[in-house]
Structure formats: C-alpha cells, structure tokens
Amino acid sequence: MLKIDTHAHMLPRDWPNLAERFGDPRFPVIEHQGDQHHIYKDGKFFRAIDSRTWDPAERIADYARFGISVQVVSTVPVMFCYWAKGAQALPLHEALNDHIAEVCQQYPRHYIGLGTLPLQDPDLAIRELRRCREELRLAGVQLGSHVGEWNLDAPELFDVFAACADLGMAVLVHPWDMMGASSMPKYWLPWLVGMPAEQSRAICSLIFGGVLERLPNLRIAFAHGGGSFPYTLGRIEHGHRMRPDLVAVDNERPPREYLSRLFFDSCVHDDAALTYLLQTCGADQIMLGTDYPFPLGEQEPGSHIRRLGLSSVEQSALFHRTARRWLGRDL
C-alpha cells in the first residue's frame, strides 16, 4: 500500500548566514564540527541535527524500513523568522524553497515539497507563494500558527490565504513561537504544553474569524493532530453556544461544522488519542504524519495506525487517500 508522510522536515546542509549579514543573532545559523551539526539561535545552542535532515537518499533508505515511499517535506519552523523585516527574511525563505524544490526534482517519486513564506510582509509572501507554485512547482506551503501579534484571522493575512486557495496550494499549519514559553522554560513545556495550544489557537482563529467561511476551497491541514483542538472541541463549542456575544462575533456557524474542511496528521503519540481523533473527525480527514526526523516525532512511522486494527479502507485513507485529497494531486 502506498504510504505518504505528510509531516516531515528538511533543511539544506547550509543556508545564508543572515545573523552575520544583518548583525542580528536571532537568525538561526548552522555550525558543522566533524560529525556534530548544531543550530544556534540568539547566540545559543538550539538543536542538534544529523544528515537525515538534509540527505535525501539517506532519508529514502531510512523510510523504506517502514514501508513509506513518499515524504511531504517542509522546513523547520525555527526558520520562519516572522519577527524579522520581511525583506531581510526573504533570502532565507527563498533558499529553503529552492532547496526543497531541487530535492523534489531530483527524486520526484519520493518527495513532495511545501514552501515557506515571509508572512510578516503579506505582499512579499504572496510574491514568493506564486514563485513556489509557478516556478518551483511546489504543492503547497507551511505556515506558522501565528505571526507576531497577528493570529491567523488577522485582516493582514487574509489575502495570503485567498491566494493559496486561488492557486490551489495546500496549506500545512505548524506550531511555532509557542505561547507562554518565557514563563515556562523548564521541562520542555513550550513543546509539550505550548505546542498543542498553538494549534488550537490557529484553528479557532481561522474558524471564529470567518477565514474558512470566506474561503471554501482552501485545503488546510494541521500538524500534530491539530494539537489540543480536537480534544477540547466540546468546551470550544460549548463556549460558542453559551457566550456568542464573545465567541460568535465574526462567524455564527458552530465550530463542529468545519471538521469536514480540516485535515489533521496522525502525530499524536497515543493509540487512544488517535482513536478519538478518528471518531471525531473521520478517516477521510486524517493522514499519516510523523514529524521526522526529530525526537518529538513518531519513532516508528505508521506504527500507531497499524496497531488500531483499522479496515483496509480506513488504512488506505490514513496512509495515502486523505493526503492526496489535501495535496490536490494524484500520485
């Protein structure tokens, strides 16, 4: 059976050193020392990576151990740099997009690419979106869960989402710049607590702000199983029903009515959680996603799906049919 991993991250081995170019250490930089490869941000160690992050042939061989042949690749969210001036961040986005496009062109049977955009400058973002579609032939884009002080329903961002819909570009929303990070730095809490909350923030903003209502053709997916949104949907819907004066001010439709519009990956790390996600959203809205090749990702890609004892029809949905609908392409 064809298996498509819709949530896999990739970086080039090297990228433009914007920290040096602009004298701003907030830009991520890569340093190589022997077999050690470290990303630094704000002048401090951020993450160690290895050759699986950039070597397409090694990744193909690694995935083959789990019977997965296609990876939908996107950058690592630390590279978004939405805090920077758009014109300063643009060269980084361009370099990342060029790299992913090159990999997809070299290995068209194994890779599908998602671009990245300087969302802090919507005009530049739309220009780069068009380049991703028309020149690089990427299938979509990965966007962060918010952009500085803008949630995803911000009027400044609407034209970007509209352009994605008009161009037929799939959208993957990934958490980044986690809320509360400064007040809970210990125990990896920004990733364990803030990351799921970021996804719920993004989904609620798009629903309550009317973005999904205004763009019925937008194909949008949410990494990490939609974070806490599916599991707190009852509370969210109850709030919408009981306090419409606070919640339903821009869109009166109940949140649950949008579940058939939203795609989610399966990266929830728990069989019971994945079962609930399937019961709530349906197999036709859920697709394999692993967060490869990072520690918080699924270490045996597809293992949770295999353990659930799903029918062949449900398995085919999670392993490839839903992904193909989201991407808008046959493979």
192-233 residue pLDDT tens: 999 999 999 999 999 999 999 999 999 999 999 999 999 999
Q: Which amino acid is at 51?
A: S
CB contact at 8 A, 280 and 230: yes
Q: Where are the domains of the chain?
A: 4-10+54-327
SS3 content of the chain, % helix, strand, coil (to 5): 50, 15, 35
CATH for 4-10+54-327 (3.30.465.10, 3.20.20.140, 3.40.50.2000, 3.40.50.300): 3.20.20.140
286 closest CA partner among 315, 250, 245, 253:
315
- Rounded CA-CA distance 50/37 in Å is 6
pTM: 0.97
pLDDT per residue over 258-294, tens digit each?
A: 999 999 999 999 999 999 999 999 999 999 999 999 9
At 32 the three-state DSSP class reads strand
Q: What does each C-alpha distance from 127 to 86, 117, 307 come to in angstroms?
A: 12, 9, 44
| Rounded (5°) CA angle 72-73-78 | 140
